[in-house]
Structure 1
């Protein structure tokens, strides 16, 4: 990690090499569709049209999107209370308060968070919305989860890899196929993290081949792959890690705490595990 003097606390850092103006409004994007599911306003008609098609297949999808976000809140708070003060969040999505850094910096004001996403509209909003505490640090990288080496090189400028890191992969790996090496990507992201680091993970389980094909057709129209996996396939992402109780479960079953809602979300499986 660079000397403290090289990174000003509380100052957001954005790195990309990409123009935020290059937003393709002719094709739907998964991050903007997710924004529609959450009731946001940072999407385009093509995203809303695709999202409504998904909702025809899964009428509960809006509630599931919120359940996914609520799991992130509970998991981030859980790790913060265990002393984790650094987070690498990949597949950030369009900022929807409270964001991960707002959750963890409420517990640890000096917490450091690095965000990564591949949608240029997220990049456009990063400077305005990803504001941290004066004591903490927030950074953003425009990149794809399929670029683990690039992401890790950026993260090491802002996080101390000699200390535990919370790696957040929330609802992102079902957009990476087995052919693209989804499990290997997660291993690469975990490899440089020290023991005591954690993985926060959520993934939709879908094994119905007809529904899976129809879902793939919707997302592929926007250039996004979708991978259907079983519960066993999701659990395989935690191989070599020590799962925290209660293991890989439906989102509502993971540490309901009375502070953050834990609504039902059919098919949304989640888990948190420690690197030992």
Structure 2
């Protein structure tokens, strides 16, 4: 893949949610990528470092990682030991329809607000987590009466537990993650100002770095250049605006794309669907 389109939209979710229970010793290290859905990662065993938006988390067994849609992330896996994990893809719209106004996805929003995607449950919470995951996993092959309702109910129970863990979790106060180092202020600034002009010299100054060192460190932390990171985030924002009813041309202009044909090509390359078609999805 060329540098211009470094990040990929990886994985698809055609169901309301999808659970994977994976165990292997030959998993591949994926390049930096993002999803159109939210993702829960629960490590059961193994050694893996997850980098999410420039922050690297060293996962321990039964850690919970909350990766919100469009967050750029990558797993670095130690293949010398078996790697077992449960991954759940979530359609937030489905969760809201199933339990309106329940706030079940608030744990994802809180993780993003904190700038820290990891939760480290205590022993009591781990016992509850194992039980909730076991109940949910047991429904996956159920085809009897009410199976879909039962699966949704088990998912709700898991998300209630995740939110309770989030409310009491203090792991964000610990020093268990490399929190993006000196580029963290720039990452926050970019994500808060995607519709405004963004200047590399201003971002470097926010991080108290020279332009040269800022650009080198940014690529080391995120896997891509500053320009391409901003471009990707603006494409993601444009996709959301289009889904919300804005015309593709207006969304392109709002997100800083002057040349619509270049925007159309980049959008289609990233999302594997044109701006016009994504509006209908």
When normalised by structure 1's length, the TM-score is: 0.23
Greater RCO, 1 or 2 (C-alpha within 8 Å, sep 6+): 1
When normalised by structure 2's length, the TM-score is: 0.23
Structure of greater Rg: 2
